Amino acid sequence: MNATGDASAVMGWFGEGFGALHPLLQALHERDSELSGPVTLCFGRGAAGAFGRHMARKLRMPVVAGQHHMNVTIRHDATSLEWHRCFDGTHHLHSSFVPSGHWPTGHWIEKTGALELLMTVDVIEGGWYWRLIAARFHGIRVPLWLIPRSTGYKRIEEGAYRFHVAFSLPVLGEVICYSGVLQPGRQG
């Protein structure tokens, strides 16, 4: 439930499938939450790294590889999910997610600036694995082969929240990746 007592968009979208998520992932999406901890940011080599840093600048992420501290604020209401990621207290990446349909055949629309990613969710051993199914830029459908391939998941490991997000391009390989293990609450 969110601050007003409504079921979250995540709970509504998953319906009875919500129970397939690990109990700690369920708790994360039953109410507004905060996570915090160290993350590792990596860029590819050569042209892949240059493209990855360009992407990071556009997303308002740090452009220096290595360890960073990240606070994540997660807000829910009955119709959307908001993620605000803050790296090192200075770089802010905001995404909104709007559900369409219901699990397992529905999808989420992630909006980050002019880019919209349509993603479905595979639940594997209680973890949440994003799978990109379509993309739009300024509302215009973009063939998936024209945008970086993305992989992303969130799962529970030893009682902590493990996440991984990576983007890669054909021929160049991985251009940017960030991942870490976060704990509930705000720190740093």
Q: Which residues contact 65 (CB under 8 A, 6 or more apart)?
A: 41, 42, 43
CA dist 152 and 166 (Å) reads 6
> What is the pLDDT, as a whole number, of residue 1?
46
> What is the pLDDT, as a whole number, of residue 7?
82
Contact indicator for 25, 17 with CB cutoff of 8 Å:
no
Q: Which residues contact 105 (CB under 8 A, 6 or more apart)?
A: 120
> What is the pLDDT, as a whole number, of residue 187?
57
Domains and CATH numbers, the chain: 9-184 (2.40.128.20)
Cis peptide before 170 (omega within 30 of 0): no
Nearest alpha-carbon partner for 80 in 10, 144, 128: 10
Q: How many other CB atoms are found less than 10 A from the CB of residue 33? A: 16
Residue ranges of the chain with per-residue pLDDT less than 70: 1-6, 186-188
> What is the pLDDT, as a whole number, of residue 5?
53
Q: What is the pLDDT of residues 122-144, one digit of tens each?
A: 999 999 999 999 999 999 999 98
Nearest alpha-carbon partner for 25 in 163, 141, 143, 148: 163
Q: What is the pLDDT of residues 47-75, one digit of tens each?
A: 999 999 999 999 999 999 999 999 999 99
> What is the pLDDT, as a whole number, of residue 70?
98
